[in-house]
Amino acid sequence: MPTQELELKKPPMSGNRGSRRAALRRRWTAAWSDGGVLHRRWEDLRAAPQAGWHGMANWIKAVLAATVTAVFVLLMSHAGTAVFTAVQQMLGAVPAVDGPGHVVAAVRATLTDPVHSYLADHSKALPLTEPVAYALWQATGLTALAGGCLTRNNALHMTWVGWGAVSVAMIWSATPDSGRPVAAGAAALAWCLASTLALRGLPRRRTSTPYGTVAVYQPHITVHLPPATASTEARSHPNT
C-alpha cells in the first residue's frame, strides 16, 4: 500500500508574536507617558531628595523601612553569632593552669552552670527546651547590652536591668546553699561592670547650677520725691 504523507499545518505564529509585541510596546509607552504608572513612580523618586522623609511618597517610606529592618535583623543575627563564637574561642584558648590562672573558666562555670540548671529544672513541663531557653536568655542580654550602649534607649535600659535581676535570681536559686552568696555576688559584680556600657546615656536630673538652685536677692530702693511747686521752679530759674 502506498504511504501517505500527512502534512501538519502549523498556525502562523509570526502574526501572534507581532501583535503581542505591539501590545507590550503600547503598554510600556503608556506607562512612561505623562500620568502613567512608571512615570509617576519615577517622579516620586526624583522628588524624594528635596521633599525629605516627611514629604516623600509613602511607598518609598515603606520600601526604605522594610530594607533597613531586613538589614538590621541580618546584621544582628550575624553579629550575635560572631560575638558568641569569638568569646567562646577566647575563653577556650585560655590555658588551664592550676591555682589562680584558672579564674576565667571558674567564673564562667559559676555564672552559667546555675542558669543551665535552673532552666533545665523549670522547662521540663514546657514545650520550650533548655537549649532554646538558654539561647533566648543570651540573646536578650546581648541585645539589651549592645542596644543600650549604642542607641541609649530607655526601654533597652529597663530590659537590661530586668535581665540582670532575673539572672542573679536564677543563679541564687540554682546554686547550692553553701555557695549562694559567692555566686550571687559574682553575678551582681559582673552585671554592674557590664552596666557601665549598657546604661550609657541614662538621663540624669538636671540642676540649674553645679551646687543646686541658689536664690539671689536683689533689693531695690525707691525714693518718692514731692511734686515741684511754683516757688521752687522760680528759684531754680531766676532769669525767666
pLDDT, tens digit, 9 for 90 and up, residues 106-163: 888 888 899 989 988 888 888 888 888 899 988 998 888 888 888 878 888 899 899 9
Residue 170 binned pLDDT confidence (cut-offs 50, 70, 90): very high
- Strongest mean pLDDT among 142-146, 210-214, 219-223: 142-146
For residue 132, what is its C-alpha cell?
Answer: 532554646
Q: How many CA atoms lie within 13 A of 75 on its CB side?
A: 7
Residue 203 makes CB contacts below 8 A (sequence gap 6+) with 154
Q: CA-to-CA distance for 90 and 85, rounded, in angstroms?
A: 9
Instruction: Tell me what pLDDT residue 219 has.
Output: 56
Instruction: Tell me what pLDDT residue 5 has.
Output: 46
DSSP secondary structure string for all residues of the chain: ----PPPPPPPP-HHHHHHHHHHHHHHHHHHHSTT-HHHHHHHHHHHHHHHHHHHS-HHHHHHHHHHHHHHHHHHHHHHHHHHHHHHHHHHHHS---SGGGGHHHHHHHHHHHHHHHHHHHHSTTSSS-HHHHHHHHHHHHHHHHHHHHHH--HHHHHHHHHHHHHHHHHHHHHS-GGGHHHHHHHHHHHHHHHHHHHTTT------SSTT------------PPPPP-HHHHHHH-TT-
On average, the pLDDT of the chain sits at 76
pTM over 0.85: no
Q: Hey, what's the torsion of the CAs at 106, 133, 84, 198, to 10 degrees?
A: -90
Residue 119 makes CB contacts below 8 A (sequence gap 6+) with 130, 133, 134, 137, 170
Residue 195 makes CB contacts below 8 A (sequence gap 6+) with 160, 164
Instruction: Tell me what pLDDT residue 220 has.
Output: 57
Mean pLDDT across the stretch 171-192?
A: 89
